[in-house]
Structure 1
């Protein structure tokens, strides 16, 4: 008697990035900021304080200003963070083939994580691999995605096996693609210095996640080990060391710094040094030509294109600098697509 054929067992892959407004208009930006800034992992204060403060005061004031910035960022294809994510999804799907189903979602706004998970559930995948597209783990980014995914699937009657790729700080595909892009820029001209600028987080976020109180916000990040594997600061410094090695940079030839702080550093210190302060001091030290990377992001977005690429460039030139060049993000570069595929295969 012939053995009945086994049903096709496919693996679901969920790629997730942070999020973007549906349009650069103030109402859509307000909706995005409301969802983002009331996430308890992003703003870790009691909900009774967080919601009225941000929904009632911060977001209404911030939304019109942010909308003007998003209008600078928007292209004919819409938000770069969205279309680069969709391009990556398509190319990774093509590489992985029919045994995989690749979905893409945003932690905030659209396409939602819930919609992406529904696509995987409809495809009857056997298991799901979740890849938050944040190289360095932080509770406010990767942790928030993981919490959201678990909250959604906890309501399913049948829950498949789910695994998370929580960090790819030192992943060869991630590092290698940025090195390739950096070398392409370095071939065009000579640079005095390289800046690796990461998204900042409050120091308390790092300390709250410290394993056995290992973190001292100092030399403890000089090596990357089992005690600080999920320390955001340690991961950033490790990414910088790996990139510097790939680019052939000595320690004195590069700086690791942090950008995008939300609150006053006097009341609530964020990770230091701050990129905007570091760059203003460089021209007086004879550093006039700077190449900068944003290795906390894998797709160009407001924080890369506008903040690092334009605003920091203006600050640098006003301080006496001559040339400030941002290395493009990974987006859907073929080497990065291959890197994502390899991460999925290893998991």
Structure 2
């Protein structure tokens, strides 16, 4: 088939260090935290904070953590599953499409992936940031970077982006299927733990500069009310999974993990929720992490090790983790449909 007739697909994940070593983690954290959409403070202060405080303090400890989840054969779990997703999607789409994988931070870079695609004179390129819920710090950063690069091309094909797929039914079915592999009724409570964001970033997605929320609160907010509100989309995803898996509203809690620094982040925090549930006598927890489409350090260590140990120290007995979407064929069908949709 003539390459000029091909359509391009660019899958973009957050990123992972090249190795579980302090120098590699230092490079990864520096690139990640120096992104103005991730740490949205003036560049001078960001430089001082990231390069002078955060990275020097966190690099060695983070490298040690990465080493605990690093597979001797497959390396980074996030990279392993991302490559599988790319290959499986390519097989599903066939020769009419060319599928590339990139990481927003580190390798393979968005620049290198687009450089390959540029020389193919593709008919179109669809960019899919692999984050179900839109946030400026994730999907927004990917879209920003892609546009920054493509605008320098002399030949620019039709380019489109998938900003959010938080209620995609095939994706929801996959999360629910993975949850139902566990005996949900045997657990005292279910957590839906999402990656956290600074509260100040939520209002920035509203053109007026401040997000106006309904009095009913986030747990009943519909995605259509504030289309690009990350929290609204997290609750929309949660409601859809809970309904599909048959989890009643009184049995689950939505919470947010991975906060950094002293500034207010989205609440309730996962760690505080664990304390509250333990004090209420909850013994067995089942945890979904629907902000992630591949198992990674946030699911394999932060929840299954750090939070699990914390919960047990407070009297809990078990924290079970629901497997991410990973290489489930239904999830690949979800991606395929996102590519083919308008």
1:47 aligns with 2:40: no
Contact (CA 8 Å) 2:126, 2:159: kept in 1 or not?
A: yes
Equivalent residue number for residue 201 of structure 1: 197
Equivalent residue number for residue 20 of structure 2: 24
Contact (CA 8 Å) 1:101, 1:123: kept in 2 or not?
A: no
Equivalent residue number for residue 260 of structure 2: 262
Supply the distance in 2 between the matched residues of 1:74 and 1:163 (Cα, whole angstroms).
34
Measure how far apart 1:263 and its partner are: 1.1
Contact (CA 8 Å) 2:10, 2:127: kept in 1 or not?
A: yes
The SS at the match of 2:315 is: coil
Equivalent residue number for residue 306 of structure 1: 301
Supply the distance in 1 between the matched residues of 2:17 and 2:125 (Cα, whole angstroms).
27
Measure how far apart 1:227 and its partner are: 3.5
Q: Which digits, 9 at most, give the CA deviation of each residue in 1:1-51, with x for residues without a partner?
A: xxxx99852110000000111101101110111100110000001112111
Equivalent residue number for residue 85 of structure 1: 82
Contact (CA 8 Å) 2:192, 2:288: kept in 1 or not?
A: yes
5 Å matches for 1:141-290?
Answer: 141-186=138-183, 190-210=186-206, 212=208, 213-216=210-213, 219-221=216-218, 222-264=220-262, 268-290=263-285
Aligned residues: 339
The unaligned stretches of length 5 or more in structure 1 are: none
Equivalent residue number for residue 342 of structure 1: 337
Equivalent residue number for residue 29 of structure 2: 33
Q: Which digits, 9 at most, give the CA deviation of each residue in 1:231-265, with x for residues without a partner?
A: 0010011111111101111111100000000012x
Equivalent residue number for residue 102 of structure 2: 105
Measure how far apart 1:223 and its partner are: 2.6
The SS at the match of 1:245 is: helix
Measure how far apart 1:186 and its partner are: 2.2
Equivalent residue number for residue 93 of structure 2: 96
Equivalent residue number for residue 322 of structure 2: 327
Q: Which digits, 9 at most, give the CA deviation of each residue in 1:88-127, with x for residues without a partner?
A: 0000000000000000000000000111112222222110
Q: Which digits, 9 at most, give the CA deviation of each residue in 1:185-241, with x for residues without a partner?
A: 126x71111100000001110022235544349634323243411100100111111
The SS at the match of 1:140 is: helix
Equivalent residue number for residue 69 of structure 2: 73
Supply the distance in 1 between the matched residues of 2:196 and 2:26 (Cα, whole angstroms).
22
Supply the distance in 1 between the matched residues of 2:284 and 2:3 (Cα, whole angstroms).
59
What's the TM-score once normalised by structure 1's chain length?
A: 0.94
The SS at the match of 1:44 is: coil
What's the TM-score once normalised by structure 2's chain length?
A: 0.95
Supply the distance in 1 between the matched residues of 2:274 and 2:49 (Cα, whole angstroms).
32
Contact (CA 8 Å) 2:223, 2:233: kept in 1 or not?
A: no
Supply the distance in 2 between the matched residues of 1:85 and 1:20 (Cα, whole angstroms).
11
Of the structure 1 ranges 14-23 and 122-131, higher mean CA displacement relative to structure 2 is found in 122-131
The unaligned stretches of length 5 or more in structure 2 are: none
The SS at the match of 1:299 is: coil
